Amino acid sequence: MRAFTTLTSLVVPLDRANVDTDAIIPKQFLKSIRRTGFGVYLFDEWRYLDQGQPDMDCSRRPINKEFVLNKPQYKTAQILLTRENFGCGSSREHAPWALEDYGFRAIIAPSFADIFYNNCFKNGLLPIALDADTVDALFKELTDDYVLTIDLSVQTITTPSGKVIVFAVDENRKFRLLNGLDDIGLTLKQADKIHEYEAQRAKRAPWLFAQ
């Protein structure tokens, strides 16, 4: 998992509330568990004018020019600004996979669905919950070249005007993101103790380790 320390990026405005996981990554793409390759299908039904299917060549598909991700100025943006209850619906981990694979590193919203929120941290995404008035103010300030700087170590967002917004994050989740540790990575930090336990276990119960 990629570590998250600081990020300075353009902001993509997705001015919609209650965006569910089926909108983020439609159900027909859930057959794969590779964790990669989902970025081209992110918000598939909103980005394209045809019906998306796995393994389609998306470079040849007709796009919805009105959808925000299809606007050229946002091509490299890594911060998504959206409304309340983002990631609601079914608990598919493919949703943060698709967002991360597309290139997003942080999502700012007034609230997130609980399971989606937890899955973000497990996949290197930083979901930032701010009060609705602050999010609304960011939407009103937004321009095509609106850039925010997020510093996870001090839990701040800095706007183009220099305003600093403080956000909350659980200390354990913060530690994992700063160090790029998912559940497996965190477990492997105890590899020496695990190997020591296995060696002692093999001495006490050798029949369990017989080939």
Single pTM value for the model = 0.88
In whole numbers, what is the pLDDT of the chain averaged over residues? 92
Condensed to tens digits (0 to 9), the pLDDT of residues 144-194 reads 899 999 999 999 999 999 999 999 999 999 999 999 987 766 766 666 777
What is the rounded radius of gyration, in angstroms, for the C-alpha atoms of the chain?
A: 20
Compare 156 and 206 and report the one with higher pLDDT. 156
Is a pLDDT exceeding 80 seen at residue 4? Answer: yes
Q: How confident is the model at residue 68 (pLDDT cuts 50, 70, 90)?
A: very high
Dihedral angle at the C-alpha atoms of 60, 61, 65, 69, nearest 10 degrees? -90
For residue 91, the Cα-to-chain-centroid distance in whole angstroms is: 14
Is a pLDDT exceeding 90 seen at residue 71? Answer: yes
Residue 159 — φ and ψ, nearest 5°? -90, 170
* Cα–Cα distance, 43 to 22 (Å, whole number): 8
Domain locations along the chain: 6-180
Condensed to tens digits (0 to 9), the pLDDT of residues 84-112 reads 999 999 988 999 999 999 999 999 999 99
Q: What pLDDT was estimated at residue 189? A: 66
Compare 204 and 17 and report the one with higher pLDDT. 17
CATH 3.30.420.40 fits domain 6-180: no
Copy the structure tokens of residue 116.
Answer: 């989606």
Averaged pLDDT, 21-42 = 90
Q: How confident is the model at residue 15 (pLDDT cuts 50, 70, 90)?
A: very high
